[in-house]
Amino acid sequence: MKTHSIAIDGPAGAGKSSVAREVASQLGFVYVDTGALYRAIALFSTEYPSVQQFLANLESDCHLELKYFGGTQCIFLNGENVTDKLRTAEITMKASELSALPQVRAFLLETQKDIAKAYNVIMDGRDIGTVVLPDADLKIYLTASAEERASRRYLELEDKPDAPSYEQILADIQQRDYNDMHRAIAPLQQAKDAILLDSTNMGFHEVCEEILSLAEKHLELE
């Protein structure tokens, strides 16, 4: 049976994960949060005092599983559900740094491809349409201004203890954009056949409806 795939790429904070999760639910697709996979790798790396030691143990000692409970993706690292540990600022920034390493990207590449062969998927990340799923049925490059992305993130975190300032969040986003776009391996860029969707002045549901409309046009869904 032929499977269908939708690739959503874009910079940090563009809303890729929340949009992809909702659209996957509407279409009955499996949502694959590739950013969470990289953050799980980053969490694993904290067990080692150096990047060299981390890489030396990556293949043998890092075992990742995706499990779905009620349509929600959970990440298991060596048998432990670590989903709730992956959204700290430290882990997020470390994931951005480690994603530039070819060993890390190669480790996750086949995992992501295998999932797409087995299920109808929506996969979001930085290089899905360019590297992971170059033959995806629909490719979208979802972006927004850095200021808008920082504002959204600030509103998510403002009620939490030790929440960073808007200025800190903006600086982190700008640094992550630079890291992602300038890494030597699979830099963040819009695939030539991807549809650009700028959500700076769009609401969440507007973005979802636009992608659902595009899916109807580009995918032969039963």
SS3 at position 189: coil
Q: What is the pLDDT of residue 118?
A: 85
**Alpha-helical segments (H) within the chain:** 16-27, 34-45, 51-61, 89-98, 102-118, 146-157, 166-182, 204-218
Q: Which pLDDT value is given to residue 158?
A: 85
Handedness of CA 114, 116, 119, 125 (dihedral sign): positive
- Rounded to whole angstroms, the Cα distance separating 42 from 46 reads 7
DSSP for 118-155, written as a single string: HS-EEEEESSIIIII-TT-SEEEEEE--HHHHHHHHHH
Of 19, 182, 17, give the one whose Cα is nearest residue 87: 17
Q: Are 15 and 207 in contact (CB under 8 A)?
A: yes
* The overall pTM is greater than 0.85: no
pLDDT score, position 162: 85
* Contact between residue 51 and residue 45 where contact means Cβ atoms under 8 Å apart: yes
pLDDT, one tens digit per residue, over 163-176 is: 899 999 999 999 98
pLDDT along the chain (222 residues), means of 10: 91 92 93 90 96 95 86 88 91 89 90 88 92 95 96 89 91 92 87 96 96 91 57
Residue 99 class from Cβ within 10 Å (0-12 exposed, 13-18 middle, 19+ buried)?
buried
| Of 220, 152, 160, nearest in space to 16 by CA | 152
Note the pLDDT of residue 2: 82
Strands 30-33 and 121-125: parallel
Which pLDDT tens digit goes with each residue over 48-97? 999 999 999 999 999 998 887 876 789 999 999 999 999 888 998 899 88
What's residue 221's pLDDT? 62
Spatial contact of 60 and 51, defined as CB atoms under 8 Å apart: no
pLDDT for position 157: 87
* pLDDT, averaged across the chain: 91
Can you give the pLDDT at residue 222? 52
What pLDDT was estimated at residue 71? Answer: 66
